Chain A
């Protein structure tokens, strides 16, 4: 049996309506696909951005705020770790790297972050151009930062400004200058759009002790505990896993908190996961409603064709042929709509990821995975199963009733 001639003719006759049904299925599927793809991309992208931040020590407060400020470089108010504690953590012998992070300035909207050279190397895995900073007035640009190697500039006070901000608005410039001496490799994180400078520079331009005794012009560790300032966060790369847990315990004190950003992210993901689950259910419900609405529409169209089916029966078509004609029409819409929806959903997720990357610097890898394939397969299976209902109704209809129908 080959019902495709009849299916083709019927779809061609109602091509506008069937195209609308297909578009509805496609949009419903695309919403579901986009939600799951985007959520997975957010999870992977944000986790990847936090990869190099093994352990963070900060002043007591919100871990989420510290993660947002230190890892994702989002503007926000984070209390400073006391200078004495800062000195202690930066001198930690069980840390391969103990890097202070200091914020407060920007250049052309790109955050200027003060830290130590070892952390720059750790973060980007080497530079793509130039060298690490070796003096307080030198800077290393992120892969996408809006400054060139050799460029000298005055930092502006503040954590950056929005692109749509009034260009005439006054931005207070520091008198100190910085010269870009190197560029990091791309990291796919907000740090790509930052300019990294010695922590001593940040402390000095804000009128704070620069961590070294007077006359000492070297930058980076060791720092002098008697001339320390506070920082919003310190990133520690412990020597071992055991050391990581030990340091976390050690720096959970009344004046400091220590945490693994990965754990903070897991807690965030739990919230995100609940939202995703809710949205997925909503998307699923939408898909179900769309399929049912499509079926109602198709059944109305099939009512117009019942004489045609009766004629086919009179010409000798078996009942199964009629069932297949109806079922195949709906199957074509469901399969084509779901596949189109998969493409649309993937496209939407890629587009949204691109926008988020532009806004935050976090590269979100939006890819179709098993979850999305399962979703689309489920949509198709649901359509194919539900399509048996009108198929069976047409299968059961009496030839005479349909032949004499007006």
Chain B
């Protein structure tokens, strides 16, 4: 990744999942600033608005009011095709259940975002996909992704998220479906993406290990931010220690 990752600014954000005056806000954040290259963990109980937060900053939903600014640009002011393109090239999404296509090989799964733009699976983009799988130690033998372990599948999903070298990673419970050992590897990789690659990594998680490794934590409850803790260089120290 070459360019400096964009900084996130949220102002007066309100998200409702239904219309009408009595609709309850699923998310309400007055102000939040996430500097470029941050390693931010978002915690909170189920239904606290964590996923809504992730979808809002990823441009997947339209809030009732407020603004989501990435490097000062209002994401929601952009037309949908522009937001799609922005997500493709600026954000890498990682999900709890990986959402890979089990009938495809790991390499084909990683190359999937390239098909959105009609890239042929040859040349530089294919070399990059292979390099990512090698970096994440995913076996590349021609076989179905379904036969990989869950930890390996999540690493394929991480490689897929990084195909276009995005400066921002948004992860939704990336370790929740993994055992402790596999989870630790994924946490390491996420930390590397920020501390080594300089990306902004924002992850929702209940995983204590992950939260401890991230330099900043915000907590949500009933859609509101109830805590915002900076941890200095803990993530970096932990990465070095590991």
Seen from chain A, the residues whose Cβ lies within 8 Å of a Cβ on chain B are 1-6, 8-9, 12-13, 307-308, 311-319, 321, 399-400, 403-404
Q: Which of B1-9, B34-42, B114-122, B178-186 contacts A (4 or more CB under 8 A)?
A: B114-122
> Do the beta carbons of A315 and B103 come within 8 Å of each other?
no
**Which residue from A1, A307, A317 sits with its C-beta under 8 Å from B99?**
A307
Neighbouring B residues of A311 by C-beta, 8 Å: 93, 95, 99
Contact with A along B155-181 (1 / 0, CB 8 A): 000001100000000000000000000
> Do the beta carbons of A314 and B93 come within 8 Å of each other?
yes
> Do the beta carbons of A1 and B88 come within 8 Å of each other?
no
Task: Kindly state the separation between the CA atoms of A12 and B17 in the bound complex, as whole angstroms.
Answer: 35
**Which residue from A308, A317, A399, A403 sits with its C-beta under 8 Å from B116?**
A317
Task: Kindly state the separation between the CA atoms of A383 and B89 in the bound complex, as whole angstroms.
Answer: 36
B147, CB-defined interface residue at 8 Å = no
From known contacts A5-B108, A9-B101, A316-B84, infer whether A321 and B116 are also in contact, taking CB-CB under 8 Å.
yes
> Do the beta carbons of A3 and B113 come within 8 Å of each other?
no
Instruction: For the complex, count residues of B whose C-beta is within 8 A of A.
Output: 32
> Do the beta carbons of B55 and A8 come within 8 Å of each other?
no
Nearest to A13 among chain B residues (CB) is B103
From known contacts A5-B104, A9-B103, infer whether A316 and B51 are also in contact, taking CB-CB under 8 Å.
no
Neighbouring B residues of A399 by C-beta, 8 Å: 55, 60-61
> Do the beta carbons of B84 and A317 come within 8 Å of each other?
yes
**Which residue from B93, B101, B118, B160 sits with its C-beta under 8 Å from A1?**
B118
Neighbouring A residues of B113 by C-beta, 8 Å: 315-317
B112, CB-defined interface residue at 8 Å = yes
**Which residue from B17, B93, B112 sits with its C-beta under 8 Å from A5?**
B112
B128, CB-defined interface residue at 8 Å = no
Nearest to B80 among chain A residues (CB) is A319
> Do the beta carbons of B116 and A1 come within 8 Å of each other?
yes
**Which residue from A6, A307, A404 sits with its C-beta under 8 Å from B115?**
A6
> Do the beta carbons of A314 and B117 come within 8 Å of each other?
no
Nearest to A317 among chain B residues (CB) is B116
> Do the beta carbons of A9 and B116 come within 8 Å of each other?
no
Can you list 5 A-B pairs, Cβ within 8 angstroms, ordered by A?
A: A5-B104, A6-B112, A308-B101, A314-B95, A315-B161
Distance from A307 Cβ to chain B, minimum over Cβ atoms (Å): 7
> Do the beta carbons of B117 and A8 come within 8 Å of each other?
no
Neighbouring B residues of A404 by C-beta, 8 Å: 51
> Do the beta carbons of B116 and A314 come within 8 Å of each other?
no
Distance from B49 Cβ to chain A, minimum over Cβ atoms (Å): 12
Task: Kindly state the separation between the CA atoms of A400 and B17 in the bound complex, as whole angstroms.
Answer: 10
Nearest to A318 among chain B residues (CB) is B84
Nearest to A5 among chain B residues (CB) is B115
Contact with A along B77-102 (1 / 0, CB 8 A): 00011001111110101010001011
B58, CB-defined interface residue at 8 Å = yes
From known contacts A315-B116, A399-B60, infer whether A12 and B93 are also in contact, taking CB-CB under 8 Å.
no
Contact with A along B115-155 (1 / 0, CB 8 A): 11110000000000000000000000000000000000000
> Do the beta carbons of A316 and B103 come within 8 Å of each other?
no
Task: Kindly state the separation between the CA atoms of A316 and B17 in the bound complex, as whole angstroms.
Answer: 22
> Do the beta carbons of B115 and A315 come within 8 Å of each other?
no
> Do the beta carbons of B61 and A315 come within 8 Å of each other?
no
Task: Kindly state the separation between the CA atoms of A247 and B108 in the bound complex, as whole angstroms.
Answer: 80
Distance from B161 Cβ to chain A, minimum over Cβ atoms (Å): 8
Closest 4 CB pairs of A and B: A316-B88, A9-B101, A311-B99, A9-B103
Task: Kindly state the separation between the CA atoms of A316 and B117 in the bound complex, as whole angstroms.
Answer: 10
Task: Kindly state the separation between the CA atoms of A6 and B102 in the bound complex, as whole angstroms.
Answer: 11
Task: Kindly state the separation between the CA atoms of A2 and B111 in the bound complex, as whole angstroms.
Answer: 11
Nearest to A398 among chain B residues (CB) is B61
From known contacts A314-B58, A318-B81, A400-B61, infer whether A8 and B103 are also in contact, taking CB-CB under 8 Å.
yes
Nearest to B98 among chain A residues (CB) is A311
13 further interface pairs, Cβ-Cβ under 8 Å (given A1-B118, A321-B116)? A1-B115, A5-B115, A6-B115, A9-B102, A13-B102, A13-B103, A308-B101, A316-B84, A316-B86, A316-B87, A400-B17, A400-B61, A404-B51
> Do the beta carbons of A400 and B112 come within 8 Å of each other?
no
